[in-house]
Amino acid sequence: MDKRTQIINTALSAFYQKGVHAVGINEILKGSGVAKKTLYNHFVSKDELICACLELRDQRFNQWLYEQLENCNTPFEVANALFGALSAWIDNEVSELGPFNGCFFINAAAEFPQSDHPIALLCKAHKESVLQLLFDKLSHTEQLKGQLEKSKQLAQLLMTLQEGMICQARVTHSSNTLLQDPMLLHQLIASSI
C-alpha cells in the first residue's frame, strides 16, 4: 500500500471518530507510521488532507449505499432497504463504514461554517450525490417510471428522514426503530405517490 493511501486511511478514521479539529497532524503521522515530510509531500496542508478524506468517504459511502439498494425494484423496497441499511450502520454492523459516529459530512460541515469553504462544498456535494442516487433508484421503479416530479419528492422525503435518523442516532446514541416498521413505510410512500 502506498504512503498516500496509508495516510488517508489513518486520517479518515481519526477525523471521523474524533472530529477534524480534535485530531492533529502528529497523531496522524504516528498512526500511519509516516514522516511529516512525506505527508507534506503528498498534501500541501491539513485542509487538503481533510478534503481527500471526504472524497474517499464519499466514494465508500456511495458505493455501500448503491449495493444496499441494488436489488430494489419498488419504492417500498428502496425505502425499506435504505432504513434497514442505515440501522445496521448505526448498530455497528457495517464494517466498511467503521464504528458509527454520525454522518462524517455533517460533522465536518459543523466544524467549517463558512459556506464557501472547500470542505463545506464537498459536504454539500456529497449530500447531492446521495439524493441523486435515491432519485435514480426511485425513478427507475415500475411505479414511478416517468414520474420525475413524484420521484424527486419521494427521494427528498427519504433523504430528510435519513438525515434525521442519522443525526438522532448520533446525539441520542440509540437507533430509531420507527422507520423500520413496514406498515408505516408503506403508508409514507403511499402518501407521496
Partner DNA sequence: CTAGAGGTAGACAGGTCGGTCTACTTCAGG
Partner DNA sequence: CCTGAAGTAGACCGACCTGTCTACCTCTAG
Determine which residue in the list 5, 41, 63, 92 makes contact with DNA, applying CB under 7 A.
41
Residue type, 103: C
The interface region with a second copy, picked from 72-80, 90-98, 134-142, 159-167 by CB under 8 A, is 159-167
Convert 16-51 to b/e letters by CB count within 10 Å (16 or more is b): beeebeebeeeebbebbebeeeebeebbeebeebbb
DSSP state of 43: -
Compose the 53-82 pattern: x for residues touching a second copy by CB under 8 A, - for all others. Answer: ------------------------------
Give, in order, the Cα–Cα distances in Å from 99 to each of 81, 89, 102, 110: 20, 8, 9, 20
Piece in contact with a second copy (CB under 8 A), picked from 30-38, 54-62, 71-79, 165-173: 165-173
74 binds, among a second copy, DNA, none (CB under 5 to 8 A by kind): none
Instruction: Judge contact between 151 and 139, C-beta under 8 A.
Output: yes
Which of these segments, 25-33, 38-46, 87-95, 175-183, binds a second copy (CB under 8 A)?
A: 175-183
The one of a second copy, DNA, none whose footprint includes residue 160, by CB under 5 to 8 A per kind, is: a second copy
Among positions 12, 34, 123, 166, the unique one binding DNA when judged by CB under 7 A? 34
Nearest to 75 by CA among 163, 153, 11, 172: 153
Q: Given the rule CB under 7 A, which residues bind DNA?
A: 2-3, 23-27, 33-38, 40-42, 44-47
